[in-house]
Structure 1
Amino acid sequence: MNDLMPTGDLLVATDQRHLIHPLHHAKDHANPKVFVSANGSMLRTADGREYIDGLSALWNVNIGHGRKELATAAAEQMEKLAYASAYAGYSNEPAIRLAERIVNLAYDNMAAVYFTTGGAESNESAFKFARYHWKRLGKPEKVKIISRRYGYHGVTLAAMSATSLPNYHKMFGPLVPEFLQVAPPYPYRWPGNGDAGIGAADAVEEAILAEGADTVAAIIAEPVMGSGGVIVPPPSYFPRLREICDRHEILLIADEVITGFGRTGQWFGLGHWGIQPDLFSFAKGVTSGYLPLGGVVVSRHIHQVIQDAPADEKFMHAATYSGHPVCCAVALANIDIIDKEGLVERAQVQGDRFRAGLETLLTLPAVGEVRGIGMLAAIELVEHKGSKAPAKGLGARVAAQAADRGLILRLRAAADGPPASGDTLCFAPPLPTSEVTLDRIVQITGESIQAAM
């Protein structure tokens, strides 16, 4: 019977028998799109349909699909040195050159890179860097990690415990101890008339004082909260947070997994607010998703603490694929493209234009807010503009309508909070996406909202 089935149907049937997907639920996977090719900002499925990739796959295909330069970089490196251990005592040229390149692109206080295979592993590693740092300095009780509600940092156990989106916790608890969450800098949903930036930063300080600064290792914060709904903080937030961290001797971890490598119109997201973290995680855009790679970049101070360690306190953290030569070679080629084609600057200019297009949809009764920065944008849906009553369920219908019209976007479902929020449509097109395609995304989104209402 299978020999008579169309190729796409056979693939789906085999998929449903043998493949467990991220965020898996059988009902959600009843009619999957099986992607077979892609070019630029367009994806093609096994049934011959084309879709605009409105999210760069998963916020990560920064340079767009089908760039042969990266395939060539991978092939050439595989032919020369496909894999070698990067454990202490061994190294390889692509890892060395990539570490230097990233440090030179990063914040002025950064010194060295530890490579991982993705975002969650990067954040797990960052937590260990923070705890290691304080233990080396004779403060072993400084172990707690503060994060923010609506933050997303991955779904391995510690990263899941820092992630403050309850759906990720329900079937996998209990959470790892010593993780706690505070209010996010969410201007659209901030209660009262106060400054959400100052208020949310002060919420961090309140948590530090309640827990005791001598027990808190670090706070982890996305410069822009991506999966939580593209929440852009007010300008007051990060400068105030940096000052609080300095005063209480708390490390600031920037989760740059989504915001890194040009996505926001800066090489790294905190550049918009002129402050520097103590360490930051990255992944996604470093290879534009062409191969798995991530990492943690640490400051000169943290690096020196590692370098000065006695043998019995050495940094006993490791991964087989840390510093993988092929992944690092692809990352170098990817960064070359971002740099030579001016994609960081383009993200700012075209991002402003794209967001202005989305703002024309504010005339629709269900559109409560349009927000974003660079090539990151979101539309929060509401039941009523005046009360900001959250829309629940509408977003799924909009996403389905958009897919029918040839656009793939990301839905962040409504949450009860605090603060409560409505369904949110998220966008992160590839950085080279043409103006014609950006305008088409706006058009399809508007049509889809009206159809879903």
Structure 2
Amino acid sequence: MSNATENVSIEQLRELDRKHFLHPTTAIKQHQANGPSLIIDKGEGIYLTDVNGNKYIDGMSSLWNVNVGHGREEIVEAASEQMKKLAFSSCFQGMSHEPVIRLAEKIAELTPGDLNVSFFTSGGSESNDTAFKIVRHYWKLKGEPNRTKIIGLKRGYHGITVGATSATGIEQFQNMATAQAPGFIHATTKFQTECELGDRTAPDFAGSVRGVIEREGAETVAAVILEPVQGAGGMFIPPDGYLQAIRNLCDEYGILMITDEVICGFGRTGKMFGVDNWNVVPDIMTVAKGITSAYSQLGAVIIRETLRDEISELSDGPFFHGFTYSGHPVACAVALKNIEIIERENLVANAKQMEAALKRGFNYLEEKYSFVTKTRAIGLLAAFELYKDREKEIPFDPSVEAAPKLVQECLKRGLIVRPVTFEGSNTIVIAPPLSITKEQVQEMISIFDDALSAIEKSICEK
């Protein structure tokens, strides 16, 4: 164990955790009964080690966010140097500092089109809430105050603040709140490219984004928000042409397009940003996670220069929105060093190369196990599903808990991955650090192989 825990036994740590720590996205009753599932002590590269000395592949980059891997000392040094020089300074009332200026410039260099203006937050939920406020503020300034509605997609995930949860199209997250914030609507049939292009003959047209716009009235819609690739909802990759169809649809009705790049950004999909896979430029892009690889808390809302200029021309007085830690100097210094590593080590290109290695491994698993299906990957954002009968697409009964069982067997063998079981699905989601090698990808596939073999009899006989 590290120095922080050497005077406290592991059992004492577990009891203190159980007694005092309310964990995020965790079954409270289960935690009260069993304590923490793991207590992580250190990380290096793609690996995590717990307080018992057990080593795990971090197959999820922790929360899709440790893009450059663990233990990067040069990022620690960058943070330390910045703390020594200037630990914090407010960016309110026009004040600034060098790290935030340099980071804003760097982001403008990386983003497509004229997405050249950044507002900084502490994370993805704050970024999306900020985007919602900006678009509603914009339409009010434009003399169209009725344009308040935000359209999201079914199974889209945008965070856990009130606005971000309301935009999220996953029932379990919405049920946590007493009620949704007003003005958030969900298209229920995602990725309906032909509908978005104007085909009204499809039976599910009413649930498409175009169908929702026509039902609600374009004059009431402020923006459409979507992830270039849906992450937490189950890792769904849109078909070619879909994002462009949404871009064209928004242009047709004068609606702003927001892309949530919180998971997809900074190399995760094999391009610097998810939209780069389809050459689409949104009006607003929200980012977090990979911007610092989780070495510090930071997010950003990146808007087109023309949008900023229009708001500037129409407004009079301060922009009444800002977080205490907007543009935190240490977080910005960390982000700059993190982006430097991503570029220097060609990690975006490596993510694309490892996509091919993952797909080869998935093909092997599909050939060997009849219940493995719907394998998919874009960069190092990947998934596969478990079906009782994949040919007839008959799912496992939820009582079988196929995906959770597989995840537990993987954990026993030293691999951390994530199950997605929304709407009865059994999806395994994978998103390792972008620094992973072919040998390490094969190590992951070997663990999946052993774990699938371990659960095959118990889940297939039920």
**Scaled by the length of structure 2, what TM-score is found?**
0.91
User: Equivalent of 1:405, from 413, 423, 430?
Assistant: 413
**1:18 and 2:20 are equivalent in the alignment:** yes
Given that 2:415 and 2:447 are in contact with CA atoms closer than 8 Å, whether structure 1 keeps it comes out as: yes
Match of 2:386 in 1: 381
Find the residue that maps to 2:365 and give its secondary structure.
Answer: helix
How far is the alpha carbon of 1:5 from its aligned partner?
Answer: 10
**1:441 and 2:444 are equivalent in the alignment:** yes
**1:329 and 2:337 are equivalent in the alignment:** no
Listed one character per residue, the Cα deviations across residues 160-192 of structure 1 (whole Å, up to 9, x for unaligned) are 0111111112232211111011135469xx9xx
Listed one character per residue, the Cα deviations across residues 190-248 of structure 1 (whole Å, up to 9, x for unaligned) are 9xxx9xx9978981111001000000000100000000111000002111111111001
Given that 1:201 and 1:237 are in contact with CA atoms closer than 8 Å, whether structure 2 keeps it comes out as: no
- For residues 37 and 403 of structure 1, do their structure 2 counterparts lie closer, same or farther at Cα, with a shift above 3 Å needed? same
How far is the alpha carbon of 1:414 from its aligned partner?
Answer: 3.7
The letter for the 2-side match of 1:407 is L
Given that 2:22 and 2:28 are in contact with CA atoms closer than 8 Å, whether structure 1 keeps it comes out as: no
Listed one character per residue, the Cα deviations across residues 19-76 of structure 1 (whole Å, up to 9, x for unaligned) are 1110132344324200010100000001110000001000000000000010000000
Gaps of 5+ in 2: 457-462
User: Equivalent of 1:74, from 76, 79, 85?
Assistant: 79
User: Equivalent of 1:37, from 33, 42, 45?
Assistant: 42
**1:360 and 2:364 are equivalent in the alignment:** yes
Given that 1:235 and 1:273 are in contact with CA atoms closer than 8 Å, whether structure 2 keeps it comes out as: yes
Given that 1:201 and 1:241 are in contact with CA atoms closer than 8 Å, whether structure 2 keeps it comes out as: no
* Matched positions, count: 438
The letter for the 1-side match of 2:390 is K
Match of 1:152 in 2: 157
The letter for the 1-side match of 2:119 is Y
User: Equivalent of 2:290, from 285, 291, 309?
Assistant: 285
**1:179 and 2:181 are equivalent in the alignment:** no
- In the TM superposition, structure 1's runs of 4+ consecutive aligned residues that sit over 4 Å from their partners are 3-6, 197-202
Given that 2:264 and 2:274 are in contact with CA atoms closer than 8 Å, whether structure 1 keeps it comes out as: yes
Find the residue that maps to 1:298 and give its secondary structure.
Answer: strand
User: Equivalent of 1:351, from 331, 335, 355?
Assistant: 355
Given that 2:233 and 2:422 are in contact with CA atoms closer than 8 Å, whether structure 1 keeps it comes out as: no
Find the residue that maps to 2:301 and give its secondary structure.
Answer: strand
Gaps of 5+ in 1: 417-421
Given that 1:198 and 1:240 are in contact with CA atoms closer than 8 Å, whether structure 2 keeps it comes out as: no
Given that 1:151 and 1:225 are in contact with CA atoms closer than 8 Å, whether structure 2 keeps it comes out as: yes
For residues 251 and 420 of structure 2, the distance between their equivalents in structure 1, rounded to whole angstroms, comes to 33
- For residues 387 and 334 of structure 1, do their structure 2 counterparts lie closer, same or farther at Cα, with a shift above 3 Å needed? same
- For residues 297 and 200 of structure 1, do their structure 2 counterparts lie closer, same or farther at Cα, with a shift above 3 Å needed? farther
Given that 2:187 and 2:207 are in contact with CA atoms closer than 8 Å, whether structure 1 keeps it comes out as: no
Given that 2:128 and 2:158 are in contact with CA atoms closer than 8 Å, whether structure 1 keeps it comes out as: yes
- For residues 198 and 308 of structure 1, do their structure 2 counterparts lie closer, same or farther at Cα, with a shift above 3 Å needed? farther
More displaced stretch, 233-242 vs 76-85: 233-242
For residues 191 and 212 of structure 2, the distance between their equivalents in structure 1, rounded to whole angstroms, comes to 18
**1:134 and 2:139 are equivalent in the alignment:** yes
User: Equivalent of 1:428, from 421, 427, 431?
Assistant: 431
The letter for the 2-side match of 1:435 is K
How far is the alpha carbon of 1:261 from its aligned partner?
Answer: 0.3
For residues 448 and 133 of structure 1, the distance between their equivalents in structure 2, rounded to whole angstroms, comes to 52
Find the residue that maps to 1:37 and give its secondary structure.
Answer: strand
For residues 333 and 326 of structure 2, the distance between their equivalents in structure 1, rounded to whole angstroms, comes to 13
How far is the alpha carbon of 1:149 from its aligned partner?
Answer: 0.6
Find the residue that maps to 2:435 and give its secondary structure.
Answer: coil
User: Equivalent of 2:423, from 406, 415, 419?
Assistant: 415
User: Equivalent of 1:246, from 248, 251, 263?
Assistant: 251
The letter for the 2-side match of 1:104 is E
More displaced stretch, 362-371 vs 239-248: 362-371
More displaced stretch, 211-220 vs 350-359: 350-359
User: Equivalent of 2:402, from 394, 417, 423?
Assistant: 394
More displaced stretch, 375-384 vs 349-358: 349-358
**1:301 and 2:306 are equivalent in the alignment:** yes
Given that 1:145 and 1:180 are in contact with CA atoms closer than 8 Å, whether structure 2 keeps it comes out as: yes
- For residues 293 and 414 of structure 1, do their structure 2 counterparts lie closer, same or farther at Cα, with a shift above 3 Å needed? same
The letter for the 2-side match of 1:235 is D
Paired residues for 1:156-235 under 5 Å: 156-185=161-190, 203-235=208-240
For residues 361 and 354 of structure 1, the distance between their equivalents in structure 2, rounded to whole angstroms, comes to 11
User: Equivalent of 1:268, from 263, 273, 276?
Assistant: 273
Find the residue that maps to 1:443 and give its secondary structure.
Answer: helix
How far is the alpha carbon of 1:386 from its aligned partner?
Answer: 1.8
Given that 1:265 and 1:345 are in contact with CA atoms closer than 8 Å, whether structure 2 keeps it comes out as: yes
**1:452 and 2:460 are equivalent in the alignment:** no
RMSD between aligned alpha carbons?
Answer: 2.2
Listed one character per residue, the Cα deviations across residues 277-320 of structure 1 (whole Å, up to 9, x for unaligned) are 000100000000010000100002211123224425x4211100
The letter for the 1-side match of 2:100 is A
How far is the alpha carbon of 1:449 from its aligned partner?
Answer: 2.1
For residues 246 and 223 of structure 1, the distance between their equivalents in structure 2, rounded to whole angstroms, comes to 18
For residues 8 and 333 of structure 2, the distance between their equivalents in structure 1, rounded to whole angstroms, comes to 38
Listed one character per residue, the Cα deviations across residues 78-99 of structure 1 (whole Å, up to 9, x for unaligned) are 0000000011321111001000
- For residues 440 and 96 of structure 1, do their structure 2 counterparts lie closer, same or farther at Cα, with a shift above 3 Å needed? same
Given that 2:132 and 2:150 are in contact with CA atoms closer than 8 Å, whether structure 1 keeps it comes out as: yes
Given that 1:41 and 1:430 are in contact with CA atoms closer than 8 Å, whether structure 2 keeps it comes out as: yes
The letter for the 1-side match of 2:23 is H
For residues 258 and 16 of structure 2, the distance between their equivalents in structure 1, rounded to whole angstroms, comes to 42
**Scaled by the length of structure 1, what TM-score is found?**
0.93
For residues 363 and 68 of structure 2, the distance between their equivalents in structure 1, rounded to whole angstroms, comes to 25
